[in-house]
Amino acid sequence: MELASKRLRTMIQDSKVRIVPELHDCASAKAAEMNGFEVIMVSSGDLACALTGIPDLQLLSIDDFCQVSDRISNMTDMPLIIDADDGFGLGRGLNTYYGCKRIMKAGAAGVLVTDTSELGRKGQLSIEDAVLRFKAAREGLDADGKAGFLIARCDTNPEEDFEECVSRMKAYMDTGADMICILWMHKVKGDKYELCKKLKEACDCPMWYPDLCGKAHDSNEISMKQLAELGNYKLVGIHYSMHAAMLAMLDVGRHVMLEQSNDYVDSHFDATGFKCFTTMSMFGLTDRTWVDLENRYVENPQDSIAQRNYDYFVRSNDVFDPEKEKGR
């Protein structure tokens, strides 16, 4: 199969701006795939909450990132980007090289690495030290001929120090970054479209727009149409998965406790158009992917666990593609 990094580079050659869900596990990746997204990212913050139950304090190990990369990339063909923060800890270039090399072996398409200070300290690295970090990331991503995709995150506020921001963008691209992410766009008080346009004129390179918000949260937020007009914005990060999952679990769990039954979940989400008896139906049972595969290796279909699960869990009224159902 074609390398995920190559598929991602091919994608960003067209004029489309793609929203990239920032998620944390195979279930959230499956939901993104079913919704029609084409590229996904593992959010270090959401992954930390999911694995440890505490906020993201940069305590995850490279093994944690490699494990989730391996599992997600094994169940979907969507290119997977890993949010690697400061390069997998310690602010040491060798850690960044080694971590990026391992992430690529685990099946990811690439990483996002920041220019934040080492060891969790406030602020940014100097341009010179940041370049060394991105150099290490580039060489780690390229090890073994993988040619991983590198997004360099710049934490300079372009509204407060435009020239510094542009200098960093150019230096990071010269070091081998494939794309730049200017983090603090949600703090911009002026016209975001005009600022993005000004940045493009100063350094025309592929861009990632961070954390697209709704108008209710940020009335000054730029639109997808405006990003498409700019031409250089190719990927747009958005956090919804873990947030929505927690709200849904809290809401349903509250009703289970109050009503002492599971009636609420059986009907509450009908308005979404999705319908299933169990989540297992969504993961290769209803479409018989795993059922047909296991049936190839047994004499009697009832000796297949996948077949027995299909017979028990799959219902004729399950709906996993509401838009398709509407068109019938």
Residues 182-203 have pLDDT tens digits of: 998 888 889 999 999 999 999 9
> Which pLDDT does position 328 carry in this prediction?
53
Which residue, 89, 88, 82, 96, is CA-closest to 5? 82
Residues 122-156 have pLDDT tens digits of: 889 999 999 999 999 999 999 999 999 999 999 99
d(CA 132, CA 128): 7
> Which pLDDT does position 325 carry in this prediction?
66
pLDDT at 1 over 70: no
Tokens 């493009």 sit on residue: 200
d(CA 132, CA 19): 30
What are the structure tokens assigned to 30, written together?
Answer: 């499956």
Residues 241-288 have pLDDT tens digits of: 999 999 999 999 999 999 999 999 888 888 888 887 778 888 878 889
**Domains plus CATH for the chain?**
4-242 (3.20.20.60), 269-326 (no CATH)
Which residue, 106, 51, 63, 62, is CA-closest to 86? 62
Residues 64-108 have pLDDT tens digits of: 999 999 999 999 999 999 999 999 877 789 999 999 999 999 999
To the nearest 10°, the Cα dihedral for 54, 58, 61, 67?
60
237 neighbors 20 (Cβ within 8 angstroms) = yes
Q: Mean pLDDT across the stretch 111-120?
A: 91
What is the model's pTM? 0.93
Beta-carbon contacts of 77 under 8 Å, excluding residues fewer than 6 positions away, are: 1, 4, 7
**How many other C-beta atoms can be found within 10 angstroms of the C-beta atom of residue 144?**
11
Where residue 51 falls among pLDDT bands split at 50, 70, 90?
very high
